[in-house]
A and B are shown apart, each in its own frame.
Chain A
Amino acid sequence: MTHPSPTIAVTGLGVVSAWGWSRDEFWTGLLKGKTRIDSFQRFEAASYRTQVASEVDIRPLADSLGCISIADQFALAATQEALHQAGIDLLIDSPGRSGVFFATCTGGMFEAENYYSELLGLTPRQTPLKDLATQQYNSPGDAVARTVGVNGPVVAFSSACTSGAIALGAAFDALQTGEVDIAITGGADSLCRLTYAGFNALRAVDTQPSLPFRSDRAGLSLGEGSATLILERLDDALARGATPLALMLGVGSTCDAFHMTAPQPEGLGAAAAIQAALKNARLSENSVDFIVAHGTGTPLNDAAEWKAFQRVFQDRTTTIPVTTPKSSIGHLLGSAGSIEAVATVLCLQNQLIHPMPPGGDMGEEIPARLVLGEPLHLPKARVGVSTNLAFGGSNTAVVFSRWERNDGL
């Protein structure tokens, strides 16, 4: 396989999800084929149309709650885990120039909602003003950069559900153009009233855990958490003795230019994003072994996404395994692209496609080869594609490949 030059390697992964505060707990949880979408405690949900979400246990944050936002803390935990796996300490090592490319949809909105409630006199005043400083969109990425010792570009992206993938693409570009030597990329979002009520206002939330691509799917399930990937040029990673976890070969990004909330129904933009990513990766559609889909579980998204797959993969569409973490850990909004990229890498590393929780009716509308209940062993899997679609019609696709020791320079 001839890779694009310079080839970009993934050398570290970090995750905070409803399965726990680590990558291993995330992966182990996904493999169970069960859901973490359930009742939640973050805010009172009885008066909402739905009452389920995927919530991270924040009891480990008890001492630090209120100092920085929950989203910031998710970002820091995921990043520190990823850097540890990569064997990089920016405060001690001098691995060259580093950058942070981070995504969020709402930053510290939950904390801002609490402050605003107090400002309106609905709850007693107790939140100090300084807590609002970590409410902003740029806060998670800045917190990461400040804490781990980044000196190069720090850019926050908030392109709705494609934010994480767009941040990945920016990191990829910065490495390929030589602007940075180490790229920390990821996303973080916490549950908040604005998104929970907002998606419910659109009638886009299922009352039960979501059923992506099933014929009786009825909407998405919201979640929270963070994921971080450490990216480097492959030759730099190998030169310092790191073991690449996977290669990031390409990225594609388009816009439907169609509607603010509904996807283009024929999946044209999403298909174009996948095709652009494959072209960027110098791969044909026949190279793709599995897909980690956006798969929100909304009627329109899944239908459009399926049509996109059909446009790209044609006769192979019904044979390519398809999965998504969303029915396990919910839709993480700004960090969805990041955590699903992590899932893609873990599938490649382990040559296992993680399952979605079973249930729902398959029907004939979307005859996808869904991985349900049990992991699928794919010992020859070399290439995976992660896709995301977003409000405003943004579409992204990222191509990862397995790395083996005889790959390289």
Chain B
Amino acid sequence: MASRIVISGLGTIGTWGCGRDRLEAKLGDGHLDLSPVDQSAGYHRRQGSHLALFCDESEIKEWVHPRAARRMSAPSRYALAATHMAIQDAGLPDGIGASTTVAIGTAFGTALFAERLVRDILEKGPESASPFLFSESVANAPAAQAAIHLKCQGSQIAVTQRESSAYLALIAGAMEIRQGRAERALVGGTDEVNPLIHAVIDRFRALAHDPEVPRPYHRHRNGTIMAEGASILVMEKEEDAIARGVRDYVRILGWNRSFDRTAPSWGFGQGVDLTMASIRDAVIATGGPLDSVDLIIGSASGSRNGDALEAKALLNLEATIPPVVTPKALVGEFGGGSLGAAIVLTQGAAYRQAGEDDFIVDPELGLHPSFQLQASKPRRTLVGSFAAGGAVVWLALEGVQLGG
């Protein structure tokens, strides 16, 4: 029988600062730390979204030397910081080993560097192009930086499938281990909030405005909130983790990857049947019925169509579904925060989301998410991810806490 693949370490950086403890605290305090986006370039529309969830980098120098950080884009330094944290969390030495794959997803890559490069080319001429900006403008720069700094000589993979990038990178890393090409994998996602990208996404009416808060499944939801940061996981075979003395980890039971062809390139579709099939497939991977799942960690982020698709699929599955939480209400969309949240929630973290008193059920959806969870023993979870353009991913996870 093929070995189970487990997640034995988590590193994360976002508005919560650095580390899983800070992320757990964020998921438990229910508070949204929004800050204004730089609008000095004049990209933004007046009536649109002007806030985002920015990374708290106050402690990043503990993980990335300032001299190294100066030579990196934001997504690269977030990914490198989170990678160091993940390795420490997993109890591994920094020299993690040659047979380690690095698979990092990013929706928009190192967009700020690319923008600066293009701007220089257009305004000052091509000879002004900076070789430093160019070498860091490739989407695999974060994965490459992590691999170089940690001497990881397995595959180096960059997945760029919009909102589902981090989840698909997780699956890519799992495949490398499953196929015998790597002993371990460092997987996850990283993104930065770039004013230009923020303004463009807002012009596609994807971002929340008036009020500028994400309200998943809410009747009057009108968009999501962009976030930046990174979450990186250490993955290895279960027997290897146990042999090292790991006692708390997350088992990957299975996954389903699908594509909703009804989705336009800039949004979400109406493929309810396909989404239901995707969820059912992930449920099958748990080895039990849907009611053996303790918690559904939804992809809902406040998007009108994205939330609708997920809610309709869930509610059409069976009469009773497990509690549904929507951590993107706290960690935003992009930046790997939702993946990090999924891991800590699977391991039993508490959850608290503000706004329950103001929540209005959307009569077309009929789904009321859970706004509060007590800390618990490890959970069995289904984790959803929907990407603009049509990609759909469902993961089946199981938190494990070994005795002794």
Chain A residues near B (Cβ < 8 Å): 47-49, 99-100, 104-105, 109, 112-113, 116-117, 119-120, 122, 129-130, 132-134, 136-139, 142-143, 145-146, 149-160, 162-163, 166, 169-170, 173, 176-177, 179, 193-194, 196-202, 252-261, 269, 272, 276, 280, 390-394
Contact = CB atoms under 8 A, between A and B. Distances in A.
A159 B156 contact: yes
B155 A255 contact: yes
A392 B141 contact: yes
B251 to A, nearest CB: 18
A193 B261 contact: no
Contacts of A49: 126-127
B153 A158 contact: no
A119 B257 CA distance: 37
A391 B138 contact: yes
B32 interface: no
Interface of B: 43, 102, 108-109, 114-115, 117-119, 121-123, 125-127, 129-131, 133-141, 143-145, 147-148, 150-162, 168, 172, 175, 178-179, 181, 196, 200, 203-204, 257-259, 261, 263-266, 274, 387, 389-391
A122 B122 contact: yes
A198 B129 contact: yes
Contacts of B138: 105, 158, 160, 391-392
Nearest to A280: B181
Contacts of A116: 115, 118-119, 122, 196
A47 B140 contact: no
B200 A177 contact: no
B282 to A, nearest CB: 13
A137 B259 contact: no
- Judged by DSSP, the binding face of B is mixed
A280 to B, nearest CB: 8
Contact of A200 (B126, B154, B263): B126
Given A145-B390, A155-B168, A253-B154, 15 more contacts: A49-B127, A120-B123, A129-B200, A136-B160, A139-B389, A142-B265, A143-B265, A146-B265, A156-B160, A158-B160, A200-B126, A253-B157, A253-B181, A260-B144, A392-B143
Contacts of A170: 172, 175
B399 to A, nearest CB: 25
B158 A255 contact: no
Nearest to A114: B122
A162 B103 CA distance: 13
A197 B261 contact: no
A324 B263 CA distance: 38
A391 B172 CA distance: 20
Contacts of B151: 257
21 contacts: A49-B127, A116-B119, A120-B122, A138-B391, A142-B390, A145-B261, A145-B390, A157-B157, A158-B138, A158-B140, A158-B159, A160-B138, A194-B121, A198-B129, A201-B131, A253-B155, A253-B181, A255-B147, A260-B135, A260-B136, A269-B153
Nearest to A45: B126
Contacts of B121: 113, 193-194, 197
Contacts of A390: 140
A56 B152 CA distance: 38
Nearest to A49: B127
A43 to B, nearest CB: 10
